[in-house]
Structure 1
Amino acid sequence: MSEDSEKEDYSDRTISDEDESDEDMFMKFVSEDLHRCALLTADSFGDPFFPRTTQILLEYQLGRWVPRLREPRDLYGVSSSGPLSPTRWPYHCEVIDEKVQHIDWTPSCPEPVYIPTGLETEPLYPDSKEATVVYLAEDAYKEPCFVYSRVGGNRTPLKQPVDYRDNTLMFEARFESGNLQKVVKVAEYEYQLTVRPDLFTNKHTQWYYFQVTNMRAGIVYRFTIVNFTKPASLYSRGMRPLFYSEKEAKAHHIGWQRIGDQIKYYRNNPGQDGQHYFSLTWTFQFPHNKDTCYFAHCYPYTYTNLQEYLSGINNDPVRSKFCKIRVLCHTLARNMVYILTITTPLKNSDSRKRKAVILTARVHPGETNSSWIMKGFLDYILGHSSDAQLLRDTFIFKVVPMLNPDGVIVGNYRCSLAGRDLNRNYTSLLKESFPSVWYTRNMVHRLMEKREVILYCDLHGHSRKENIFMYGCDGSDRSKTLYLQQRIFPLMLSKNCPDKFSFSACKFNVQKSKEGTGRVVMWKMGIRNSFTMEATFCGSTLGNKRGTHFSTKDLESMGYHFCDSLLDYCDPDRTKYYRCLKELEEMERHITLEKVFEDSDTPVIDITLDVESRELTFLLR
């Protein structure tokens, strides 16, 4: 098929402007409702007393035809017997055929952060014609904007940047979520790396994930990534890169682990545009000769990982009864954005009584830690425990586990294929440019017409702060009651998870630059508890986990703690709720007194009386 015909084929299948539903009814792979018994539709049955419709099925039972309604068509993109929905790439992206897979593994002991010795070097690499380019991905700059997609990306033969010669390391990142633009060999065992900006932008260089082969064990190699743009980084606070060895996985069942010595994050030479960039350097000895290894900024979680996880739910006869998987919409590249509805099957009598909870994740593709929290949440809420059953009986959960599949697939850090941050475009009316956030907002709007939404939470990762914390919205201009109530859930979460979640790091305000975020838009739509949950890329400064990195199990456990806190928040026994409310009132009182003390020379007794008077006025609003 020619490129022109492929473009035409793509344009014919774009999302219709007239489709205003919250769930896109199109599905490429549909499992047909087939029965081995004699089965007819009323449309094909000659009896004039039956209406002409394909929605009534007629089964021949005990000598007569028995009508029943056809089951709703499953919109999920993976049939029980068919393949996963193929991943679509921008047409110019080179993609290797090899499928990259990693095992799940948790270290037996928490992995400590790196403690600087003061002897770390800061390599600077002036341009040199003598340096050898050993890897170069040129495909990222072939188009100024997204044009169209196809399965497998570029169909021309892949270029091999360097042959297996001498002891030169071989690099590769042309796989799902991979990111590496260029590698230069600057010394026998030293490599200068450049990561690719988000596609169709010239910024957002933070995420890296690449493969290394042809190494020698026991040799000290140095890797330096030279084009980060953020002045502050958790690498300056002890965060280590992640490493994965296929030989270690096969022989010892060891997965992703924190590694590296002489780790340093520093400002380097100005770039060609005069902008200062920042470098991350580390040294490392590979454990095996001729291994296949990977380095990454955070634990990878790809679109294929998500599809395989959802396929497991779809094929499970128990979980699929209370977890319905649909396609919310399609991305610019025609990848599917899934939405899960999780609840005990409703009876007509309580269909509107159940309140709703909304969770979303991966609007920023490089924030993979959010997917691990989402996985932990789904593992728990779909589990067999009595608390999980109670949550499903009490609430309707609407879950969008991956808002930006295109960005995840191509290895972006922040943007979609529109070259824009989706989490600044929840107010946009451009459905075709930002379909996933448009349809999410529309879904929430329609849901709120039917029932109360008690909580919205968008899961993220944070590159500069430790621990896990939340951003909320400031309700101080409404009433003191609302001002305190929106802080109760985060406080409960900190009590249920004291070694990971920091309430003191939570902030509750609405900045002008954040008005297009999901958190602020949902709050303005009327969801009182509207949060962004931020998970560090590094680890904890709290309790027994102080000074250690988070593992995938740590991140997954936050999904359980989220559910546990939700039960506490909605417990008919309001003891915990009012205890937290009282604690927040005391916190607010102390903060108010401290502010007044800083700005006034008035005697303490007068200040206290004035604060109490203002609190009473606030409560009477």
Structure 2
Amino acid sequence: MQITSNFDSGNIRVLDASQADNIQLEIVKDNQSDFYQWFHFKLNNTDRCEHTLHLMNAGTSAYTEGWTDYQAVASYDREHWFRVPTEFDGEKLSITLTPEYDSVYFAYFAPYSYERHQDLLHQAQLDIDCQLQVLGQTLDGRDVSVLKVGEEGPNKKVIWVTARQHPGESMAEWFMEGFIDRLLDEDDGVARSLLDSSVFYLIPNMNPDGSVRGHLRTNAVGTNLNREWAEPSMARSPEVFLVREKMLATGVDMFLDIHGDEALPFNFVAGCEGIPGYDAKHQALEEKFKAILLAVTPEFQDDKGYDKDEPGQANLTVGANWVGNNFKCLSYTVEMPFKDNDLLPDRSVGWSDTRSSLFGRDFLTAIYHVVDDLR
């Protein structure tokens, strides 16, 4: 029996793998950080008996509430990820599976690989409406890439969508894959209409270094990018610095920042109620956008989510707050679950890569219905 995480986004440390019914593992912390929760590893050369894998340090991870009612995902082919029996006793997370094949992968959520990320970017650039731009490099030397879809114009809206500031939230890039696929579909009337009225700047992965390193929340040097927007630097957060400079050059009429939430088993959005200058127009835009999402998809709800900031108390180091305040625009953080959507549970796959992608497609309809009101 062998256990390895020596691959893209891999994360695990083996403590004891001598007994199939008591495999002891640890999740590795993000580099130069105390954050950890993401895991991704492979179990090889297994017998066809029940295996129990204990993540021994789960009880002191970044978001322990995320383990309640959580089920890990597994895959034999790295394409189809299914949920496996998982229990949390307050200290360790225990995963149980009787393997059907010689090798099986386990992960916190369906991974989105760096190779697939490159495929997404370079297949998109083949579309006549799409241009692949490189803003600069990360600390590990990877590209900070943006897809520009559509053309600027004097009356065109500028819409930005970013994902995976927190690299372990891989559902965010699955969301982007669906969003981009629909936006580039020349037979889709919503997409065609939006490109007549708007230009899109899309960043499927804001944190490629953290993604490849198997981090939960930070970049190569342990920086939480979604707390860097007030004063980013090329030394600690070049990803945010470069994107923010591009935003200042293009302007922003609407911004969506795509994330995953460890604890809440729902899809929801977080608005900008606490930013300085939040007014009735901003509130009306937010309410209309949420109302359209509620009408478009039963996967979305607005009853459960984060507490709203008090007026003037928003944290302006957070991306959606900084953008909403600086550009006086509709700006939302979009959250999806690591667990399942309790409104529409699926016992086999839970909230999944495919459902995340379909959810991304739904957002184009909501944007279509508010785009004329953005300014």
* Structure 1 length-normalised TM: 0.56
Equivalent residue, structure 2, for 1:148 = none
Give the letter for the 1:280 counterpart.
L
Equivalent residue, structure 1, for 2:16 = 184
1:332-370 CA distances to partner (integer Å, 9 max, x unpaired)? 011101011101x46xxxx22101110000111100000
CA distance in 1, matches of 2:345, 2:14: 37
Identity among equivalent positions (%) equals: 23
Equivalent residue, structure 2, for 1:241 = 72
* Kept after mapping to 1: 8 A contact 2:52/2:96: yes
Task: Say if 1:568 and 1:365 are closer, same or farther in 2 by CA, change over 3 A.
Answer: same
* Kept after mapping to 2: 8 A contact 1:494/1:502: yes
> Alignment length, in residue pairs?
367
CA distance in 1, matches of 2:265, 2:339: 6
CA distance in 2, matches of 1:422, 1:475: 20
* Kept after mapping to 1: 8 A contact 2:268/2:336: yes
CA distance in 2, matches of 1:282, 1:258: 10
Equivalent residue, structure 1, for 2:287 = 487
How far off its partner does 1:570 sit? 3.1
Equivalent residue, structure 2, for 1:534 = 335
* Kept after mapping to 2: 8 A contact 1:459/1:534: yes
1:106-138 CA distances to partner (integer Å, 9 max, x unpaired)? xxxxxxxxxxxxxxxxxxxxxxxxxxxxxxxxx
How far off its partner does 1:529 sit? 0.8
Equivalent residue, structure 1, for 2:141 = 334
Residue 205 of structure 2 aligns to a residue in which SS? coil
* Kept after mapping to 2: 8 A contact 1:466/1:540: yes
Q: Which has the higher contact order (CA 8 A, sep 6+)?
A: 2
* Kept after mapping to 2: 8 A contact 1:209/1:295: yes
How far off its partner does 1:186 sit? 6.1
Out of 180, 189, 201, which is 1:378 matched to? Answer: 180
Equivalent residue, structure 1, for 2:259 = 460
Please state if 1:259 is matched with 2:84: yes
Equivalent residue, structure 1, for 2:225 = 422
Residue 35 of structure 2 aligns to a residue in which SS? coil
How far off its partner does 1:493 sit? 1.1
Alignment of 1:119-158 (within 5 A): none
CA distance in 2, matches of 1:428, 1:216: 53
Residue 216 of structure 1 aligns to a residue in which SS? coil
Please state if 1:397 is matched with 2:200: yes
1:460-514 CA distances to partner (integer Å, 9 max, x unpaired)? 010000121101111696543433332221221122112x111122454269683
Extract unaligned runs of 5+ from structure 2.
none
Please state if 1:211 is matched with 2:22: no
Out of 281, 293, 296, which is 2:94 matched to? Answer: 281
CA distance in 1, matches of 2:279, 2:30: 42
Residue 177 of structure 2 aligns to a residue in which SS? helix
Please state if 1:221 is matched with 2:51: yes
CA distance in 2, matches of 1:519, 1:375: 21
CA distance in 2, matches of 1:467, 1:546: 13
CA distance in 1, matches of 2:3, 2:273: 48
Equivalent residue, structure 2, for 1:175 = 7
Task: Say if 1:186 and 1:212 are closer, same or farther in 2 by CA, change over 3 A.
Answer: closer
Give the letter for the 2:117 counterpart.
L
Larger radius of gyration: 1
Give the letter for the 2:96 counterpart.
T
Equivalent residue, structure 2, for 1:166 = none
How far off its partner does 1:293 sit? 1.2
Equivalent residue, structure 2, for 1:193 = 25
Give the letter for the 1:265 counterpart.
F
CA distance in 2, matches of 1:513, 1:197: 29
Please state if 1:473 is matched with 2:272: yes
Give the letter for the 1:222 counterpart.
T
Out of 211, 226, 234, which is 1:408 matched to? Answer: 211
How far off its partner does 1:236 sit? 1.7
* Kept after mapping to 1: 8 A contact 2:149/2:201: yes
Please state if 1:300 is matched with 2:130: no
Task: Say if 1:485 and 1:308 are closer, same or farther in 2 by CA, change over 3 A.
Answer: closer
Residue 253 of structure 2 aligns to a residue in which SS? strand
Extract unaligned runs of 5+ from structure 1.
1-168, 269-278, 573-621
Alignment of 1:519-598 (within 5 A): 519-542=320-343, 544-545=344-345, 549-570=350-371
Task: Say if 1:172 and 1:539 are closer, same or farther in 2 by CA, change over 3 A.
Answer: same
How far off its partner does 1:567 sit? 1.1
* Kept after mapping to 2: 8 A contact 1:455/1:527: no
CA distance in 1, matches of 2:163, 2:359: 14
CA distance in 1, matches of 2:63, 2:345: 27
Give the letter for the 2:25 counterpart.
L
CA distance in 2, matches of 1:488, 1:377: 20
Equivalent residue, structure 2, for 1:30 = none
* Kept after mapping to 2: 8 A contact 1:242/1:256: yes
* Kept after mapping to 2: 8 A contact 1:376/1:559: yes
How far off its partner does 1:394 sit? 1.2
Out of 299, 309, 318, which is 1:509 matched to? Answer: 309
Give the letter for the 1:324 counterpart.
Q
